[in-house]
Copies of this chain bind each other. A is one copy, B any other.
């Protein structure tokens, strides 16, 4: 291609389909979904990923490039120059009447995405190609828009986005197994008194991948007021479930001058906003999931959007569960952590709407959560929603230095590791609160997809590190 050539710019198919008027000369590029031939012309259904819908191109016999059509099968890339004209066919306003067809790239005959339904399991093995299907194209457009909506929501409310570090020297909340990061030569580990000498490593000490950006976010909130992180986090749990991946994205707002009620208000408002935004901006793509993946999808979303979230102390939640007719695999009593079966019972069966459970027993929660006056519960909260269970976990943080120190010791942590975290409580300490929301869980809620591997482009799970 000559760089100085004046080229007709391509029009995205999404733009073409919502054009207000026809045009004598447009260029669309895309991948062929189907080709149908009749004697005097051929139909091509083209998709360029800009939206769910295809555009139809009609190539008449005799049009330059018509003779190339036999090489154009499903998956081939073509450029069609022509006129954007009203379509006599159903379900589309516009189509392209070709004046020229160019084959950009053929598809080898073994192209796996021929016109038929494929299982999600199969599509995971070709994660590099699955975004070319309707379902995964829609999924990743939704993922993109949801990500934008998150930024938009927080910025609009005066929150600053913070890039919390991925590499960390602290096992910040003891939350799950961590991946270790190193530049040591694994075949010849340097040793000191029989153990690995991390003094030789890149950072001169043990390094891991973060499990949460919270502690960094607290540093920043105690300077900028309201902040949020939105980045990748990691868990090295060796579990093969539809809910776990080793690498996932998390949204963590943190607010200075805010207590647990402010935190619950933010969580509820945020979830409702995101659902509303997405239903407005991604209607076509979501529609696909409502039709083919979960017929009750929009009912669930309506429920969350329209109901006030129930706010329920943990103690009362336990009473409800203990009195429930339903048999649970794990018995419940005060002091025990809730399992997904309990969470789903509360939100799906008992209240039939989202529930925020708060004031959990201190024994099952992290050291940094604020001790309540009863001395046995902490100002923690979990937001439970139908189909997912826990979508958000958060707390008011312990801002009183002596109380925090007591909790650090109680949990056998090393106070030297937290010198900077304790500093926040020495210098102008303020009540502050925040939460974490799993971005993939939110996507599962929004699309009805039940396996987390199918809402992230290239999922990382035990023994899976392809692409």
Contact = CB atoms under 8 A, between A and B. Distances in A.
B128 A144 contact: no
A338 interface: no
Nearest to A131: B223
A457 B164 contact: yes
A427 interface: yes
Nearest to A166: B232
Interface in A160-190: 160-169, 177, 179-184, 186-187, 189
Contacts of A168: 465
A458 B164 contact: yes
Contacts of A163: 143, 147, 232, 249, 456-457
A304 interface: no
Interface string A217-255: 001101111110001101010100000001101000000
Given A236-B183, A428-B75, A203 B164 contact: no
A132 interface: yes
Interface in A101-146: 104-108, 111, 126-129, 131-132, 136-137, 140-141, 143-144
B107 A430 contact: no
Given A179-B182, A189-B186, A465-B203, A140 B158 contact: no
A426 interface: yes
B456 A137 contact: no
Nearest to A142: B160
A189 to B, nearest CB: 6
B49 A1 contact: no
Nearest to A261: B3
A328 interface: no
A92 interface: no
Interface in A414-432: 420-421, 423-431
Interface stretch (A204-212, A270-278, A405-413): A204-212
Contact of A166 (B127, B247, B257): B247
A131 B180 contact: no
Given A223-B129, A431-B1, A167 B246 contact: yes
A131 B219 contact: yes
Contact of A77 (B177, B194, B430): B430
Question: For A75, A166, A177, A232, which residue has the most chain B Cβ atoms within 10 angstroms?
Answer: A166
Contacts of A151: 147-148, 151
A464 interface: yes
B423 A169 contact: no
A269 to B, nearest CB: 13
Interface residues of A, number: 112
A420 B166 contact: no
Nearest to A430: B77
A224 B141 contact: yes
Interface in A39-75: 48-50, 75
A3 B311 CA distance: 12
Nearest to A203: B465
Among A14, A108, A128, A464, which residue has the most Cβ atoms of chain B within 10 A? A128
A77 B429 CA distance: 7
Nearest to A130: B223
A157 B346 CA distance: 43
Given A12-B158, A137-B223, A467-B420, A129 B457 contact: no
A295 interface: no
A303 interface: no
A196 interface: yes
A460 interface: yes
A331 interface: no
11 contacts: A31-B428, A104-B428, A105-B429, A107-B426, A107-B427, A131-B223, A141-B224, A147-B161, A163-B457, A187-B196, A204-B463
- List the 6 closest pairs (A to B, CB-CB), nearest first: A105-B429, A49-B224, A131-B223, A144-B160, A77-B428, A203-B465
Interface of A: 1, 3, 10, 12, 14-15, 29, 31-32, 48-50, 75-77, 79, 104-108, 111, 126-129, 131-132, 136-137, 140-141, 143-144, 147-148, 151, 155, 158, 160-169, 177, 179-184, 186-187, 189, 194-196, 202-205, 207, 209, 216, 219-220, 222-227, 231-232, 234, 236, 238, 246-247, 249, 256-257, 259-261, 399, 420-421, 423-431, 456-458, 460, 462-467
